[in-house]
Amino acid sequence: MKITREATSLDMKIVYMMGYDVWGGDLTPKEYVTMCNDSSKYKRGKWYVIEETDTKELLSSLIVYELNPSENLIVRGIGSIATPLHLRQNGYASILIKEVINELEKNDNCNNYFLYSDINTNFYKKLNFIELQPSKQKYKDSICMYYSKENDIDSINFEIPNYF
C-alpha cells in the first residue's frame, strides 16, 4: 500500500465518487462529478490519496486547506475525508489522516488541525482529535474538532474556522 501522495487530475473523478453516496443527494453521478470539478472550494485545497500499491486502486482521500488565522500559527483544515463504501471499516481513512498530519508536521511545520465531523466523532477521537466546547461550535449538524501535539485548544487565541 502506498500511504499518501498528492492526487492528480486523473484521480479526481474517482476521488469525488468516493463521497457520492454521502454527499451526492439527488444528483446523478455525472452531475455530482461536474459539480465537484467546478467547485472553487475544492480547487483551493490540496488533495491526498492512499492507494493499493499493486493495483493503484484509490482506497481513501481527503483535502487539506490552509487556514492561518494568526501570523504566528500554522493551521490546516482537513475535509472531505472519504473511502469507497465497499472499502470502509479497513482503517484506510485513519492511516491517511495520520500520514498526512505527519507529512504536514515534517514539511510545513504545521501542528494545528481542524476538521468538521459529519459522522460519529468517536472515529476522530481515536485519532486524538477533540471536540470543541459546545459554546464554540458554529453548526448544529457538524462538530468542529481540533488536533495538536503541542497546543491545547484553550491555550491558543483565534477564531474557530468556518466549515471549509
pLDDT-derived band at 63 (thresholds 50, 70, 90) equals: very high
What burial letters (b/e) apply to 16-49, b meaning 16+ CB within 10 Å? bbbbbeeebeeeeeeebbeebeeeeebeebebbb
Is the pTM higher than 0.85? The answer reads yes
pLDDT-derived band at 95 (thresholds 50, 70, 90) equals: very high
pLDDT at 82: 95
**Does residue 46 surpass a pLDDT of 90?**
yes
User: Which has more pLDDT, 158 or 44?
Assistant: 44
Other Cβ atoms less than 10 A from the Cβ of 110: the count is 20
Reduced to 3 states, what is the DSSP secondary structure of residue 148? coil
pLDDT at 106: 95
pLDDT at 66: 94
**Does residue 114 surpass a pLDDT of 90?**
yes
Average pLDDT of span 128-136:
93
pLDDT at 60: 96
**Does residue 70 surpass a pLDDT of 80?**
no
pLDDT-derived band at 164 (thresholds 50, 70, 90) equals: confident
Average pLDDT of span 155-163:
79
